[in-house]
Amino acid sequence: MTKGEIKALISLLDDSDNEVASYVEKQIAYLGEGIIPFLEEEWEETLNADLQKKIEDLIHNLQFDGLTKRLQEWKRSGAENLLEGMYLVNSYLYPDVDFATISKSMDQLYFDAWTHMKDEMHPYDQVKSLNNVLFREKRFSANTKNFHSPANSMLHLVLESKRGNPLTLCVIYMTLAQRLDMPVYGVNLPNLFILTYKLDGMQFYINVYNKGLILSKADIDNYILQLNLNPVDIFYEPCSNLDIIKRALRNLAFSFEKMNDLDKATEVTKLLDSVTDEDTAA
């Protein structure tokens, strides 16, 4: 469709004939996210509050459908880039924040951490060096005051405020560690996301939410015992990038439930379902 045809189509959104308006909405949905700039233009030009609300809903639905497709494509392509997955989660609330903004912040953190690394460092010393950069120099820390805020799941906000939940802080830490050639991976513990350093028979754990505290397997054993759970491999071994993104979406849905925003909680659960169903299908 030409620009003129699109504008003519959008102008029919407030047609008094409900069938016409309904047809127009379906056509707009079919055209996809590319029509959003034209909808935004119409929103700015109209003084009709009802039409503005209708346009806002249409834009949101287009963005949500587009995000669902991008998440599914990220999964289908192997879910290799964790930062991209977190960026997609970020896009639910902040569709206008681009990936380059997040990448630039991470690049700067990586450079600062890299300058502190030395050749042939012991794994514990590598962790302590990265801890020093993130938690002392850059002052990243746990957001204990607003633990259930959705902002804690928004990567660009955590990079700005330097406050986050266990998972988002772990994603930042793990991404930097892997770029520094450290074999650091996520671990799906109940109620707490942590990291593990695992290489050539050596394995220990890192509690990023507690400023990178190093933990032993015995510490994990005790934690699981306190929760009255049976020790299973998932509590000790690295999880996949897809598992991390699923947990990020569960965290975000839970945040909205805590805020009693059930519409958003339902939508985020739909995003989670879109990358969960038929995981084992051929």
Domain identity same for 131 and 44: no
Tokens 């302590």 label which residue? 128
pLDDT value, residue 277: 67
Domain identity same for 12 and 86: no
Domain identity same for 108 and 40: no
In a domain, 44, yes or no: yes
The answer to pTM > 0.95 is no
Domain identity same for 92 and 214: yes
Domain end marker among 76, 102, 119:
76
In a domain, 50, yes or no: yes
Domain end marker among 76, 100, 115:
76
Domain end marker among 36, 60, 76:
76
Residue 243 has pLDDT above 90, yes or no: yes
Tell me the per-residue pLDDT of 166-182, one tens digit each, with 9 for 90 and over. Answer: 999 999 999 999 999 99
Domain identity same for 128 and 11: no
In a domain, 281, yes or no: no
Higher per-residue pLDDT: 15 or 181: 181
Residue 35 has pLDDT above 90, yes or no: no
For residue 178, the one-letter residue type is: Q
Q: Residue 211 carries which DSSP code?
A: T
Q: How far apart, in whole angstroms, are the C-alpha atoms of residue 89 and residue 95?
A: 10
pLDDT value, residue 278: 56
Residue 66 to residues 6, 62, 179, 273, 277: CA-CA distances in angstroms? 19, 6, 30, 15, 18
Domain identity same for 144 and 253: yes
Q: Which residues of 60-69 are buried (b: 16+ CB within 10 A; e: fewer)?
A: eebbbebbbe
What is the total count of domains within the chain? 2
pLDDT value, residue 52: 86
In a domain, 282, yes or no: no
In a domain, 150, yes or no: yes
Tell me the per-residue pLDDT of 190-213, one tens digit each, with 9 for 90 and over. Answer: 999 999 999 988 999 999 999 999
Tokens 């892997």 label which residue? 178
Domain identity same for 224 and 267: yes
Residue 34 has pLDDT above 90, yes or no: no
Closest CA to 178 of 82, 89, 249: 82
For residue 99, the one-letter residue type is: F
Tell me the per-residue pLDDT of 112-145, one tens digit each, with 9 for 90 and over. Answer: 999 999 988 999 999 999 999 999 999 999 998 8
In a domain, 201, yes or no: yes
Domain identity same for 24 and 104: no
Please name the residues in contact with 97: beta carbons below 8 A apart, sequence gap of 6 or more.
Answer: 90, 91, 156
In a domain, 140, yes or no: yes
Average pLDDT score over residue span 249-257 = 97
Closest CA to 182 of 222, 133, 220: 133
Domain identity same for 68 and 111: no
Residue 137 to residues 113, 115, 128, 161: CA-CA distances in angstroms? 10, 13, 12, 14
Domain identity same for 68 and 147: no
Share of the chain above pLDDT 70, in %: 97
Average pLDDT score over residue span 66-81 = 96
Domain identity same for 107 and 233: yes
Domain span holding position 10: 3-76
In a domain, 280, yes or no: no
Domain identity same for 42 and 111: no
Residue 281 has pLDDT above 50, yes or no: no
Confidence of residue 18 (pLDDT cuts 50, 70, 90): confident
